[in-house]
């Protein structure tokens, strides 16, 4: 019965209309997740979580216009654990609210004196937390970080389920000067209607569209069409995961106003960002 139960949960996690045959690896995966979950609970207090900052640059001129804050977990025995692994665990267990607060506070205090925007990812549980705006404003005040320099990145999954409520949260954030951008665009179901309705400050074209632009003419056409759509709606487009000069050339010709990716700079520590701000020719993208 227990094994059947494990298989049922695995099937459910794959979405609707699925089935799954029990195998011992399912138990292993569950055990690993549970361990991760309990380790994560103590990780913030133990100082194992830190924030890395990845530059966002303007295509024209390569100037840094912002950084995205990305959570990092350095586990005492397992070493660095990818956010793709621990963020979903934090989301399922509810730890994401505390983790998100920590990242925001840490990022705002480290980025306070930088002359550009700070983008922070917002998970659904945080987005739907009634105290969100209150908590955020309090953190900003404590860190003396101006709301106009903060941008939240949300994904379209939030908008679909309760568009009216989502619109209210977004409007509330923007009323206080905080920017809101749409992350991972193209991976879900956001329609042109949503783009118009929510008036995002930026739309981030997902890496999965950017990566194949050099190898597939169809992918390049899709990227082009999305950028054209953004321009028609007067929403600036950012291309994520720009890894090579070739990517950068195609996407900037297509009209992407902003770029982010290893070509322009990997996620770095605050000290590294500080150091590059002090170098002559500062604010120019590291590899551009």
Taking the C-alpha atoms of residue 281 and residue 277, their distance in angstroms, rounded to an integer, is 9
What is the DSSP secondary structure assignment for residue 74, as one 8-state letter? E
- Per CB under 5 A, the list member of 153, 156, 211, 257 interacting with Ca ion is 153
Choice between 155 and 195, CB closer to ligand C2E: 155
What is the DSSP secondary structure assignment for residue 145, as one 8-state letter? -
Choice between 10 and 258, CB closer to Ca ion: 258
Q: Is there binding between residue 267 and ligand C2E (CB under 6 A)?
A: yes
Among Ca ion, ligand C2E, none, the one that 110 touches (CB under a kind-dependent 5 to 8 A) is none
User: With contact defined as beta carbons under 8 Å apart, do 122 and 152 qualify?
Assistant: yes
Residue 7: phi and psi, rounded to 5, are -65, -35
Choice between 10 and 108, CB closer to Ca ion: 108
Q: Is there binding between residue 184 and Ca ion (CB under 5 A)?
A: yes
CA dist 212 to 63, 247, 251, Å?
A: 25, 9, 11
User: With contact defined as beta carbons under 8 Å apart, do 47 and 73 qualify?
Assistant: no
Quickly list DSSP for 214-233. GT-HHHHHHHHHHHHHHHHT
Letters for 119-138 (x = contact with Ca ion by CB under 5 A, - = none) are --x-----------------
Q: Is there binding between residue 82 and ligand C2E (CB under 6 A)?
A: yes
Taking the C-alpha atoms of residue 241 and residue 257, their distance in angstroms, rounded to an integer, is 14
Taking the C-alpha atoms of residue 164 and residue 168, their distance in angstroms, rounded to an integer, is 6
Q: Is there binding between residue 270 and ligand C2E (CB under 6 A)?
A: no
**Binding segment (CB under 6 A) for ligand C2E, from list 7-15, 172-180, 259-267, 269-277:** 259-267
On the CB side of 122, how many CA atoms lie within 13 Å of its CA?
Answer: 29
Contact positions with ligand C2E (CB under 6 A) in 135-154: none
Q: Is there binding between residue 286 and ligand C2E (CB under 6 A)?
A: no
- Per CB under 6 A, the list member of 39, 106, 129, 183 interacting with ligand C2E is 183
- The CA R_g of the chain, rounded to the nearest whole Å, is 20
- Residues lying near Ca ion in the complex (CB under 5 A): 121, 153, 183-184, 240
- Residues lying near ligand C2E in the complex (CB under 6 A): 54, 70-71, 82-84, 87, 100, 103, 121, 123, 183-184, 241-243, 260-262, 267
């Amino acid at each position: 019965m227990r094994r059947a139960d494990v298989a049922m949960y695995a099937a459910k996690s794959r979405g609707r209309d699925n089935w799954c045959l029990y195998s011992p690896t399912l138990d292993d995966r569950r055990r690993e997740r549970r361990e991760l979950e309990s380790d994560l609970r103590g990780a913030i207090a133990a100082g194992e979580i830190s924030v890395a900052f990845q530059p966002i640059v303007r295509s024209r001129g390569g100037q840094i216009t912002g950084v995205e804050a990305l959570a990092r977990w350095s586990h005492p025995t397992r070493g660095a654990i990818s956010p793709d692994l621990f963020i979903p665990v934090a989301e399922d267990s509810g730890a994401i609210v505390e983790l998100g607060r920590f990242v925001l506070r840490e990022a705002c205090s480290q980025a306070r004196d930088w002359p550009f925007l700070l983008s922070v990812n917002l998970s659904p549980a945080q987005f739907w937390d009634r105290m969100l705006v209150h908590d955020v404003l309090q953190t900003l005040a404590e860190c003396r970080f101006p709301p106009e320099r903060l941008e939240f990145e949300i994904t379209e999954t939030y908008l679909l389920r309760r568009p009216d409520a989502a619109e209210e949260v977004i409007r509330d954030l923007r009323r206080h000067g905080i920017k809101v951008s749409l992350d991972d665009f193209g991976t879900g179901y956001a329609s042109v209607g949503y783009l118009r309705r929510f008036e995002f400050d930026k739309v981030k074209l997902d890496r999965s569209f950017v990566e194949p632009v050099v190898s597939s003419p169809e992918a390049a056409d899709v990227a082009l069409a999305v950028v054209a759509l953004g321009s028609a709606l007067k929403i600036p487009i950012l291309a994520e995961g720009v890894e090579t000069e070739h990517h950068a050339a195609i996407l900037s010709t297509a009209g992407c106003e902003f770029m982010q990716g290893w070509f322009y700079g990997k996620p770095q520590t605050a000290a590294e960002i500080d150091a590059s701000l002090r170098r002559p020719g500062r604010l120019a993208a590291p590899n551009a």
